[in-house]
Chain A
Amino acid sequence: MTKISRRNFLQTSGITISCLVAGKVVALSPAQAYARELPYKTLNLTEVATIEALAEAIVPGATEAGISHYIDSQLSVEPEDTLLMVKYLVPPPFNGFYQASLASADSMRGDKEWGELDKEQMTAMVGKIATDAVTDWQGPPASFFYFIFRSDAVDVVYGTELGSKELGIPYRAHIMPSTNW
């Protein structure tokens, strides 16, 4: 099986987002945007921290793959242009779906920072979200949010040519994804 280095990931990730860098709009992969700590267009830092903590607990590798910049970029465009899977299942606009769910998830950590929660605590928290076992959850059903959010994280980690390599299967593209979208 091919071991994917961070350098390789930055070179080959198939998802790109438009970012403003030094006054110019450039296409970067979510991982590149994450690595450069580029600012967010729609999400606030609390939401970003929640996304990264949850995504990493659900799909390890999602944070470095750029899950927060992926979701942020797709919530920043017109709903008809978004590439998030949520568009199949929820009427637009989609920001409210994420913001309400992320706020509910964030409230689950209490007084602790995300980084203070160990793996066992994060696993328990995700398990509650996935099974609608969270009291006082606001927004769309917790399990529905989990399904969508997990798919987003799978997108950035395994939905690319590099993700296929990680799984040991050929990507076999007819047309590789463009970097200009």
Chain B
Amino acid sequence: MDRIKQEKYDLVIVGSGASGSIVAAKAAAAGKKVLILEAGPKRGLDDLTSSQIWARRQKWNGAPVEEAGSLQIAHAFNAGYGTGGSAIHHYAVWPRLHENDFNVKSTYGKSLDWPIEYKDLQPFYDQVQSEVGISGDAKAEKWRPAGADYPMPPMPIFTQGNIIAKGFEKMGMSTSPIPLAINSQPYNDRQSCLYDGWCDAGCPIGALANPLVTYLPKAFSDGAEIRNHATVSRVLEDSGKRKVSGVEYYDAEGIAHTVLAEQVVLAAFVVQNARILLNSISARHANGLANNNDMVGRYLTTHPSNYVFALFEEETQPFIGATGGQIMCQDGYADKRAIKEAFGSYQWLAGLAVKPNDLLGFANTRPDIFGDALAPFLKRAAKHFGSMVCVGEDISDPENRITLSDSKDKFGVPIAKAVHNLSAESKAMLENAVEEGKAVLTAAGATETWSAAPFGMHHVGGTVMGTKAENSVTDGFGRCHELDNLYVVGPGVFPTTGAVNPTFTIHALALRTVEEMLKAAA
């Protein structure tokens, strides 16, 4: 491959998703010359077609990831591709981590501790919440850690949510509206939701907080540039110093480019961040950058999750609402050891808007039904379906990890291999939750209930933050222990998963990182 001109920026950000976009916006607003390198194509709101078939374009289309283990992370389904990254198809479920998620190792003797506490992150949660907008009912969330009230009232609870809420109530459990980064009313020049359930396909009306309507427009208006089809292969060490000098990337024609920068931020999601670091080999970093202690790639985690489904006599209108659901229950959060021989917090998200097709469509909840029995099932499910998903906490295990494969991508760069196994304690947590979920749905009046196989929801870890290079890749600000101007943002720096959806925390942590970066640069 030919190598062409070198360029120089204050800041190069690898990835344009949730974390990269907020870093870009804040740095550009501070006057920095910012370049975002995005592996996928350019996307705008007009590309977010209302179709579960077309929506597959927004999922990962870059170099394949080899997967192994008993609970694989489903990389191609969870990861995004193109401007806005995975946040384009995220469901905007934005609860906060709880205080007890930050000291799991100290409290329970397993998993990891964070180098920061909830109170360190709270002001950043509050700031992001104000800037982006969240619809919710803070008082109804009796489990919620301290924080400012939501700026918008909660999204409406429709028929499915109301029916299932009664089941929780009969079981003596609590529910609240899900805090959603979706406008229940116009907010910050963005219109309110139409409740059509196309969140997974991408929200083209701007009601759902994806980077195309939140931080990327701010970044671009302040001069940040983005380059699509720019696949970063490695970060370049500034030889002889504890610094990096820039990155190397390949364009769509396979031509290698070098971009120099004062600071580099990896915001390419969990697997690709680790892959880039592992491929960034130099004389002083024979195992890859920031990896002198063999920590890059370790502690790969996901949210061990499971769906429970039901059919009801009454019509539930399961096509209305948000894909992420309507009501939430975190009664299973506070005590991570509440269940014998199990470990981990969990939450329920219930009343999910569903479509007939695609991996999470209601047709695929009963793959055993085919032939003449299929249409009657689908017609009944289309109007009488109910669903809940348990989002569980993973146990951070160094043997669950991202490494490099012997196979290479089209640019000749080794691809990633991701191994993730489910622990016996996490499995027990999920099994208990499934039985609880079926009981809730039965109490709600379901005529039949069933569940799916456990699956991995979200990607976390692989470049975890910690107190020192011997136990982590970055410090509490996402700065690599071994390199003063190389930062990692996104869920890869989470030492533990908690049991809540990660995108709100991704934003809050990235905001904290960029404020520190700007101080360091000054």
Query: Would A83 and B53 be within 8 Å (CB), given that A88-B76, A167-B378, A169-B382 are in contact?
Result: yes
Contact indicator per residue, chain B 353-369, by CB within 8 Å of chain A (1) or not (0): 00111110101100110
Query: How distant is the Cα of A44 from the Cα of B191 in the complex, in angstroms?
Result: 50
Q: Are B59 and A169 in contact (CB under 8 A)?
A: no
Chain B residues with Cβ below 8 Å from A96 are: none
A residues within 8 A CB of B359? 85, 88, 151
- Shortest C-beta distance, B88 to chain A (Å), equals 14
Q: How far is the CB of A14 from chain B (nearest CB, A)?
A: 6
Q: List 7 A-B contacts (CB under 8 A).
A: A58-B370, A82-B56, A88-B76, A88-B77, A159-B53, A164-B356, A167-B378
A181 and B53 alpha carbons, distance in the complex (Å): 12
Is A34 part of the contact surface with B, judged by Cβ < 8 Å? no
When chains A and B are docked, how far (Å) is the Cα of A86 from the Cα of B62?
15
User: CB within 8 Å of A: which of B430-445?
Assistant: none
| B74 in contact (CB, < 8 A) | yes
B449 at the interface (CB under 8 A from A): no
A91 with B66: CB separation less than 8 A: yes
A-contact 0/1 string along B364-381, CB 8 Å cutoff: 100110111011001100
Q: Whole-angstrom distance between the alpha carbons of A87 and B57 in the complex?
A: 10
- Contacting residue for B370 out of A130, A160, A167, A177, CB 8 A: A130
Report A163 CB to chain B, min CB distance, Å: 6
Partner of A177, one of B51, B56, B196: B51
Those 8 A-B pairs whose CB atoms lie nearest each other, nearest first:
A159-B357, A173-B50, A80-B61, A167-B382, A91-B64, A172-B196, A88-B77, A158-B356
Residues of chain A in range 82-109 having any CB-CB distance to chain B below 8 Å: 82-85, 87-89, 91-92
- In the complex, residue of chain A having the shortest beta-carbon distance to the beta carbon of B374: A59
**CB-CB nearest in chain B for A1:** B379
Q: Which A residues between 66 and 80 are near B, CB-CB below 8 angstroms? A: 79-80
Contacts of B74 in A (CB 8 A): 88-89
Binary flags per residue of B332-369, CB closer than 8 Å to A gives 1, else 0 = 00000000000000000000000111110101100110
Cβ–Cβ < 8 Å partners of B64 in chain A: 91-92
A142 contacts the other chain (CB 8 A) = no
Interface residues of A (CB under 8 A from B): 1, 14-15, 57-60, 79-85, 87-89, 91-92, 119, 123, 126, 130, 146-147, 150-151, 154-155, 158-160, 163-164, 167-178, 181
CA distance A4 to B406 in the complex (A): 51
A sample of 16 more A-B contacts (CB under 8 A), given A172-B197, A172-B198, is A15-B53, A57-B371, A80-B62, A83-B54, A84-B56, A119-B371, A130-B370, A154-B364, A158-B356, A159-B52, A167-B378, A169-B319, A171-B50, A172-B50, A172-B194, A177-B53
Decide yes or no whether B383 CB sits under 8 A from chain A.
yes
The answer to whether B48 has its CB under 8 Å from any CB of chain A is yes
* A13 CB → nearest B CB, Å: 11
Nearest chain B CB to A40's CB is how many angstroms away? 20
Chain B contacts for A178, CB-based, 8 A: 49
Asked if A14 contacts B51 (CB within 8 A), the reply is yes
Which residue, A58, A85, A151, A170, has most C-beta atoms of chain B within 10 A? A85
Q: What residue of chain A has the Cβ atom nearest to residue B382's Cβ?
A: A167
Q: B106 to nearest A CB, angstroms?
A: 38
Q: At the interface, is chain B mostly helix, strand, loop or mixed?
A: loop
Among A58, A147, A174, contact of B50 (Cβ-Cβ < 8 Å): A174
Cβ contacts B163-201/A at 8 Å (1 or 0 each): 000000000000000000000000000000010111000
B410 to chain A, nearest CB (A): 10
Docked complex: B416-431 residues within 8 A CB-CB of A = none
B52: A residues at CB distance < 8 A: 155, 159
Most chain A beta-carbon contacts within 10 A, residue among B50, B53, B196: B53
A81 to B357, CA, bound (A): 19
Neighbouring A residues of B355 by C-beta, 8 Å: 159
Contact B54 A169 (CB under 8 A): no
Are A83 and B383 in touch, CB under 8 angstroms?
Answer: no
Inter-chain contacts of A87 with B (CB < 8 A): 56, 59, 61, 76
Asked if B205 lies at the interface with its beta carbon under 8 angstroms from chain A, I say: yes
Given contacts A173-B198, A174-B203, A176-B50, contact A155 B357 (CB under 8 A): yes
What residues on B are CB-neighbors of A91 within 8 Å?
64-66
- The distance in angstroms between the C-alpha atoms of A163 and B358, with both chains bound, is 13
Which of B50, B57, B196, B375 is the one whose CB lies under 8 Å from A83?
B57
- Whether B392 sits at the interface, judged by CB under 8 Å, is no
B204 CB–A CB distance under 8 Å = yes
B301 → A minimal CB distance (Å): 20
- What is the minimal beta-carbon distance from A123 to any residue of chain B, in angstroms? 6
What 1/0 flags go to B20-46 for Cβ under 8 Å of A? 000000000000000000000000001
A175 vs B198: C-alpha distance in the bound complex, in angstroms?
Answer: 10
Do A154 and B357 form a contact, CB below 8 Å, given A130-B367, A174-B205? yes
A88: nearest chain-B partner, CB-CB = B77
Contact A174 B194 (CB under 8 A): yes
Q: Is the CB of A126 within 8 A of B370?
A: yes
Q: Which residues of A contact B382 (CB under 8 A)?
A: 167-169
B378-A151 in contact (CB<8A):
no
Known A57-B371, A60-B371, A154-B364; contact A177-B356, beta-carbon cutoff 8 A: no
Give A14 to B357 CA distance when docked, in angstroms. Answer: 13
Which of chain B's residues have a CB closer than 8 A to the CB of A147?
A: 364, 367
Q: Known interface pairs A123-B371, A175-B50. Does A151 touch B379 (Cβ–Cβ under 8 Å)?
A: no
A60-B374 in contact (CB<8A): yes
Interface contact B319-A174, CB-CB below 8 Å: no
C-alpha spacing A150/B372, complex, angstroms: 14
Is A151 a contact of B364 with CB atoms below 8 Å?
yes
Asked if B383 and A169 sit within 8 Å, CB to CB, the answer is yes
In the assembled complex, which residues on chain B have CB atoms less than 8 Å from the CB atom of A1? 379
Is the CB–CB distance between A57 and B370 below 8 Å? Answer: yes
Give complex CA distance A75, B357 in Å.
20
> Shortest Cβ distance from A3 into chain B, in angstroms?
13
Do the beta carbons of B204 and A60 come within 8 Å of each other?
A: no
A158 to B377 alpha-carbon distance, docked (Å) = 13
Q: What is the bound-complex CA distance between A60 and B371, given in angstroms?
A: 6
Determine the chain A residues whose CB is within 8 A of the CB of B59 once the complex forms: 87-88
Q: A residues within 8 A CB of B371?
A: 57-58, 60, 119, 123, 126
